[in-house]
Structure 1
């Protein structure tokens, strides 16, 4: 833009200066100036000559009327007096006329445009000049332009829109056949003639101006509402640009408006380039799915994803018109990389012989799974024992035998897997959702296998939508999934629009810290179960000895869940590594294997020595030979049947000429064979194999070993200062095909890079080479590898944060190690891999201690300490001591550093922590600090956040009025969108907290009807927000509120929703509340012992989470349950414990009720009336001091009954009349109805 014109942000609609790169409010990036032509907003204002009616132009054209003005000039209806025929005449703007180059190009293109003779195209006649004024003559079409027609008619019927679009397609098809592209197609350029036919106007004009027009280079002439993305960018255009514009016109015809609207031309153009159009069915429900899909295909951003020719579009329109459009399963669009002729070079398969027993066992397990008896099976054996070869061979055979079987695998990583959460399961889910390019390009899976996984996309997406929405953005990147889904489907099936909407929602929000690991596990299991209903699954988990704790836990969960599904999980691991444990603790896989054995019985296939001789014999006979019995015996003694040793030793003997081929091409012992000169251990044969490499090849592998078992060719090339192409040649030809030491894993595509991934044929090769480096070499090389990977990945470096942290830690570059460990911890939190997150954060804190104590270090530790509570709460409980230590350390650091933005957050979390621990006075003190921060900044937003958490401990100590004042302040300023980010810090929505507590407070203070209204608003808001933890909190508070009202039917209804919600999501604290209420109901229904037992167990579960809040209320309800079933001794015991808790924590909000209930229990027990009366009097006294009118009413009723019994009828009546007379609402609630009945009874008696 020029001058004072700016850029309107399409996300928040904030005005920004024309040179802005990001929105100043929401930080949305704007396209660079090179992406969007300024020409969209630049206009030259030079008047065009106007002609009056009756005058003659150029000596032959009599002006009849002006038809209109356009971007090119003015148009008139004229009579050509030479031929006595009406036609249209357009005078071109002077600024066009002054550019001779443009005029000449226009003349040339007009020659082609004049050739178009078609009933749906307005004929162009001539181009001339009159006194330096260029003009065009063309056919005059009587009728109405389509823009006016739409404006007059409103949304067109689908039938009418198709008829018009078909006419336009037929005209375009003829033009494109003649090499003419319109490039300015819009409703204003389409006439509807008197017979109802659509006629296209102004062919060729826009195209000629695109080369060089009235604006700068790259300028675009046309209407932004109808421009294709390539036009917006100033790129070359072809017929597919016209198809896009026609898609916009079709959209406008049926929806009543264009797909993209904005305040400026630039804002509209930006949307064509960056935003997805809404489904037209949302604007017009009468639009069919077929036409909607057709329109959206026309509007694809990439030209190669639209209809490629107008004839294709015309055919699709005709099918919809005839009702023959396909409505069944969508025909998949095979991705480009799978349509290339030929298969990628397949890596050499591991040598496989023998093992028929093991293969037979595996087939038996699979048959059980196919019959619906899913299970987990483990294949275990030490390094080189042939585990991978066995599994790969079985997978190949199983796919051939069972054509509908879906086989996918995931692998743990020796160098990053322990701290990289769910690595094998993420890989499996990626493959199940069509992410196959890397595996296919490396030859790891065949084209047929890749296509079968690609075709699984609709089923996988539907399974995610229905069962695993939280797996998006945690286990699988949403944007990539949407991209694959869009590539798969033509049109817009429901599953595609659903995933687009879900990913868009997820992208706008941070990952919810209250998302529990158990909930993710359950969703993963449900997704697999849903898929297995349509396709049996074989899931392979390799190298489980390197598994992270989260993956081990997920494996255990799946093992329990898949028993009734067509799923077989094969886990592969080395038992020696597992037996060693990890960091002086039990290996996480060990307990999983043991527990699953209890469920499934014998589920292991052990590759040991039993079949070793059979393997050696089979391997020796895998090629024609005439090897003697003595050779075979000695060979077996030398190798002891170890598969890797066997393979490598025989290969070495062949390469060195110790075995030779005879005339019949059979292997025989050579004359130089000397057994004493051969290696006798597997490490020796590896050493011997490596020693045969040239110095250059050995250096390549040594450098590669630093990155790990899997490595990147581009990294090694930079380390060795070699051309990447040359290095790939060495890896693929020399080290793979000739020496069999590595294999290609595939290509990884980043935004600006393509990385070539390779894998050592066996980790023992990598370890041998790496162990040959001394400590100094390792340190330098790890730093170099880390720096190179950082550069290659650029903005995507966070994807390999664990790997980078490992390299920099090994290199002693502590600052960078901390940086990437912190990122790894954050990523783990997002995955609910909480143990890994805690380990990463704590490791960072330990590493920080080695750095100087500077403000920068303190700030870094603060960020780590404040990140720890979320994963700690998830694994240890709300009130765990570690949570308090992290938060208190955060507060200490804030005080050291000075006031920081993190101080407010740390204090808020501390208020919540101490409130949950029932240390209310500490919570209030901390809350008053947050109030002061908000006051100092005079920030109502921060004050609202502060009040929302401080109101809770205030209410718990009995300060109801002050707490209500705070809640009202929050509600008055509540904006769901503005406060929503705090939901992910506090675990609940600020507004929902305020409405929920307000319902309680109003009830306590004696306003039941207003309280009910607030409670209903709280639940409604919780449902509307769609945040599960907020809803669980709201339902819990709602259960308590309706218990206050004695509306037990609603309590039951909420309980029945709360329990499964909290169970599925892993909200143990709220689940325990639901179980408590369920137990309470059982006591009321006569299941007394079971109910009271369940209530006690629920209280124990709550306390086990580290929380002690609200125990007075819950224990009071336990005592009340005992009262109702006439168990006074048990009830009094509960009351005594509750008083102890109340005094210890100063939890006073239910104190009046405790005194009243104690009096009722004493009365039932037969204690003296003076003891009972003292309890009731104390209840009245406390409730009055707190202004808790509802509790005062209850206490007054109990005392009134006692006085009535004692003959103090007047006192009893007066006491009850005074408190009942105070109320102005709520007369239909249980307590007030009971009070009214007592008053009526006693008034009648007097």
Structure 2
């Protein structure tokens, strides 16, 4: 009974008093306290109504309390179910015109006709609802084509009723009509009810209600289906669109179709996951191609084959066929399995392969694992100490003092590990040919993809074949290599499919008509063929059992989707389903030890269940007892088993799995925090999930695996709203700070993602009142604005930072604040003020260097030294500028590899401004390897300088193209700081190469950016280069105007280096015009103002020109 007073009153026919009760605050629990006087006070004047209410209240008091719902003794499941609702037309009128005895006989005949049809299609008559029938297709046992069965049954019931009417018309003078509807949807199915009214196969969900409401849309003797059913059976019937309808009690409108009849079916199945059919039929051409590539490998010509195909098309079977064909030949084989769980775990497939190759056992202590690792390395001809240390780090094996400590940065460690993995492949190849199979590359992690690219480039002259399988929706990043073959699998022809059916059937002789039906339904997909043939064999429809009824049933047993086929297979493996469901929670691959810990039945029972699942083709077994590992035949087999679990059951199993991993398998918990995060998140234990995602992200970031780190931190942030209020803000603040740092490294400080992370972090800091973390956040916001560049926003952030530092009298923060103000002033062209603040920043002492490092995100002192170096050069102190730049690089070596790389990159600016091609070239050479691992901004910047060095070395065309491409990539990012300067680099080379229109384009864009952003430190140089362009084009008047503009700007900024360059250009122009005295008077004082840098190109050229003017 509802505990809603309004509903209770409606039930009594007194709903008009509901508002009165509500306004008076009378809840259900107060009803027993009400008296006749109380009811009068409520305004219930009618005596009869008060008496009815008092009687109903008394009945409530005699009613026992509702019993708690007992736990189900038969576990419920989530299933896709097709429901048919069948009802007689005008049955009420029939009961008033026909004698009850005759009516009973008539209804029994009607029911018998319907049940005969339902039985024929193996449906389940769930309930008689008066003169209606509720029928399930897919429960208690699923079929691959339940929707088609339901629709066919509906049409046959109409025919059966029409045939029945012949007898009814003669006997009773009556003809019956029926309305039918079919709908397919999700239900929860299982035992429900209490006491003697328990129902074994009850269903809960919207699906039966939709079917019942759809029935009202059907005309007499007609069948209506929903769009969800129509999509599953589209090719098998003809239809009439009867529109979209808003059904009572159904939230969303439903598209309805009237089924007008059957038609010759046209199969359109698509496989859902790779299969491994026993016979190999119709794939000889593909296998022979692989064997030819293997022959080339044996001749020392390394090969790569990319094998693409839709799920279930046979990629894995072809790989297995190659393995079988070369099994007796000397070779080494490395199988690397990518995983959906570990798509963001760096080098996971290779780490997993190392564990298998080394033969690790779960019980092995670290020392034993290291011994096995050393043995494996010896066999591949690799140096043991260093490589063992690298691989031990990858596998999270503690080395203690076993090997010398590797003093490497995270990025170098990652690169060295990847190189060692490739070296292992090549080392094995020196002894015998090597086959490397990388399966399911559509789930590959970014670091493994990079490793494969590196391996591909190195195996060309080695005895190595790399075979990679992937799905069509994945775009492999490895194409374009001369030793690479791309192979796409097509479906089998009808003749080939028929041969495959015969091979599967083996000694069982199937009738030709059944084989034809399987071929038509399978549509050339080997996995579908396999599943259909097994279903036929298990149903016993072999030789001698080909009656029309049995054959007709078979045509409906073909799977419409792989999901249905796999659920049917699970239903057929009696007694093993719970094991398959629990295993599905563990993952695609699982150990028997973990399964036993999570689901601890009797050992013999578990082993028998696993044996049955292997025998049924749902699992593969690897290894020997007691270290058995099992693999779901494909990920979609796992998905099908997992999908049948209730959400609550899933949560409980994920929670138990996480708990077992932590307590009984701590080495897995330590090595694979993302796995624990997955289980805890699925269990709804969000604080633990977030903690493990944080651990995973931090580890990835420390190893410079920024893509994996981004995934981990983003996953953690997504779970934050699930936390209690008191923990939410502090946790999200930590995550947003980490995510902001990752975005800066991956996409640049000026990226929108970086801005969003720091903006959110600032709001959290202010809500929490954490002033210390607020400084870190403000620094992040400053860097974002600085790099976009929104320099006046950056000024505001710098001022706010200074204000907080001064209020708190925080010397560490003051040191950073001076740098922020100084670097912004530099970009704005206020060079003198910029110098003052930058020098003051370096002078501030009595600071906590740890806090300085934290406030500046590790950028101090590299960045202030860099900007001061540029400032001093432009102000006319090149020697001091170079000294400061060298100091910046030296300081960066003490930090991460990322900041060292940035210091070298920043050094390129100064060397370029000095015209020192050799120095830029040296820095670029040191940076190219690093650039491949950094974000797009860093890589493009390196390519820009690389193009400039090429042009300086006499290859302007190639250099210009490289620079244009680099600039295009930079423009596509949100980090646009220093773009006027970068435009000028290309403009100057175009000017020297005579490509004047391109030079004009770049200079014009550079000046536009100056106006748009107020980044003016290089503005004078842009005007000077524009003057040089005008001079090259013969426009001396315009050239003089632009030289004067450059000179005025430089003088105003105290930018003596730019002033000198503008003065040299204008002096040359005046010399040609015969204005020697004016030229000398212009140039001499500028040169005389310099106190250092006399050996630089600018001053040497200036002195030479002044001598010519003497």
Structure 1 distance, partners of 2:769, 2:627, is 45
Task: Give the equivalent residue in structure 1 for 2:433.
Answer: 536
- Match status 1:913 vs 2:913: no
DSSP 3-state at the match of 1:401: coil
Alignment of 1:308-707 (within 5 A): 357=284, 360-371=288-299, 372-378=301-307, 383=312, 391-392=319-320, 394-395=322-323, 398-402=326-330, 405-413=331-339, 416-418=341-343, 420=345, 422-431=347-356, 435-438=358-361, 453=376, 455-456=378-379, 458-459=381-382, 476-477=394-395, 479=397, 500-502=404-406, 505-506=407-408, 528-529=425-426, 532-533=429-430, 535-544=432-441, 562-572=459-469, 578=471, 587=473, 589=474, 600-602=485-487, 604=489, 611-612=496-497, 614-615=499-500, 627=507, 680=557, 698-707=577-586
2:1043 matched to 1:1182? no
Q: Is the 8 A contact 1:525 1:562 kept in 2?
A: no
Residue of structure 1 in register with 2:876 after alignment: 1006
State the Cα deviation string for residues 1064-1083 of structure 1 (Å, max 9, x = none): 44564445445444544566
**Do the aligned partners of residues 457 and 1197 (structure 1) sit closer, same or farther apart at CA in structure 2, a change above 3 Å counting?**
same
Which residues of 2 match residues 1054-1069 of structure 1 at below 5 A? 1054-1058=923-927, 1060-1061=928-929, 1064-1066=932-934, 1068-1069=936-937
- Give the deviation of 1:408 after TM superposition: 1.6
| Post-superposition offset of 1:1227 | 1.9
**Hey, what does 1:881 align to over in structure 2?**
752
Match of 1:922 in 2: 793
The match for 2:1007 is 1139
Distance in 1 (CA, whole Å) between partners of 2:1046 and 2:670 is 60
Alignment match, 1:209: none
Q: Distance in 1 between matches of 2:649 and 2:889?
A: 63
Q: Take 1:436 and 1:975, find their aligned partners in 2: how far apart are those partners?
A: 56
CA distance in 2, matches of 1:1125, 1:770: 65
- 1:844-901 CA-to-partner distances (Å, cap 9, x unmatched) read 444434566x353222222332333455456655533222222222222222222254
Counterparts in 2 of 1:632 and 1:763: CA distance versus 1, 3 Å: farther
Per-residue deviation, residues 27-66 of structure 1 (Å, max 9, x unmatched): xxxxxxxxxxxxxxxxxxxxxxxxxxxxxxxxxxxxxxxx
Per the alignment, do residues 1147 and 796 of structure 1 end up closer, same or farther by CA in structure 2, a change over 3 Å counting? same
CA contact (8 A) 2:296 2:302 kept: yes
Mapped contact 1:717–1:727 kept (Cα < 8 A):
no
Contact 2:673 2:696 in 1 (8 A): yes
- Which of 862, 866, 878 aligns to 1:996? It is 866
2:150 is matched with which residue? none
Q: Is the 8 A contact 2:680 2:688 kept in 1?
A: yes
Secondary structure of the 2:382 match is helix
Among candidates 792, 803, 817, match of residue 664 of structure 2: 792
> 1:599: how far off?
5.3
TM-score (norm 2): 0.61
Whole-angstrom CA distance in 2 between matches of 1:396 and 1:984:
60
Cα deviation for residue 919 of structure 1 reads: 1.9
Determine the structure 2 residue equivalent to 1:898: 769
Shift of 1:374: 0.8
> What's the offset of the Cα at 1:409?
1.3
SS at match of 1:1148: coil
- Which residue number corresponds to residue 263 of structure 1? none
- Number of residue-to-residue matches in the alignment: 817
Q: CA deviation at 1:1110?
A: 1.7
Partners of 1:543 and 1:1120 in 2: CA distance: 49
| Conservation of the 8 A alpha-carbon contact between 2:581 and 2:641 | yes
Question: Relative to structure 1, is the Cα distance of residues 457 and 523 closer, same or farther in structure 2, using a 3 angstrom cutoff?
Answer: closer
1:804: Cα distance to partner? 3.8
2:823 aligns with 952
Deviation at 1:1118, TM superposition (A): 4.2
Structure 1 Cα separation of the partners of residues 533 and 1061 of structure 2: 92
* SS of residue in 2 equivalent to 1:926: helix
Deviations 1:571-596 (A, max 9, x none): 446xxxx56xxxxxxx3x25669989
CA distance 1:772–1:1015, change in 2 (3 Å): closer
1:1042 counterpart (894, 902, 911): 911
Determine if contact 1:379/1:607 at 8 Å carries over to the other structure: no
Between 676-685 and 1129-1138, report the one with greater CA deviation. 676-685
Aligned-pair distance for 1:428? 3.1
Contact kept in structure 2, 1:1062 and 1:1068, CA below 8 Å = no
Is residue 2:1017 matched to residue 1:1149?
Answer: yes
| Contact 2:876 2:1056 (8 Å CA) reproduced | yes
Conservation of the 8 A alpha-carbon contact between 2:990 and 2:999: yes
- TM-score, length-scaled by structure 1: 0.55
Measured after TM superposition, the shift of residue 401 of structure 1 is 0.7
Query: CA offsets, 1:427-473, max 9 Å, x none?
Result: 23555xx53224999xxxxxxx99984544552769969xx97x985
Structure 1: 5+ residue stretches without partners: 1-348, 442-448, 487-496, 580-586, 622-626, 660-667, 749-753
* 2:466 alignment partner, SS class: strand
Whether 1:1236 and 2:1103 are equivalent positions in the alignment is yes
8 Å CA contact 2:297, 2:465 repeated in 1:
yes
Change in Cα spacing, 1:377 to 1:456, as seen in structure 2 (3 Å) is farther
Q: Distance in 1 between matches of 2:529 and 2:1002?
A: 73
Return the alpha-carbon distance in structure 2 between the equivalents of residues 974 and 533 of structure 1.
Answer: 59
Q: Distance in 2 between matches of 1:376 and 1:1126?
A: 46
Shift of 1:911: 2.3
Q: Is the 8 A contact 1:512 1:984 kept in 2?
A: no
Change (3 A) 1:808 1:1080: closer
Contact kept, 8 Å, 2:948 with 2:989, in 1: the verdict is: yes
- CA–CA distance in structure 2, aligned partners of residues 406 and 610 of structure 1: 37
Q: Give the secondary-structure state (helix, strand or coil) at the position aligned to 1:424.
A: helix
Q: Using the alignment, how far apart are the partners of 1:917 and 1:568 within structure 2?
A: 46
Q: 1:654 to 1:1216 in 2, by over 3 A?
A: closer
Q: Is the 8 A contact 1:808 1:817 kept in 2?
A: yes
The answer to whether the 8 Å contact 1:463/1:531 transfers is no
Give the Cα separation in 2 of the matches to 1:1093 and 1:687.
Answer: 57
What is the aligned-residue RMSD (CA, Å)? Answer: 5.4
Instruction: Check conservation: 2:791, 2:1015, Cα contact below 8 A.
Output: yes
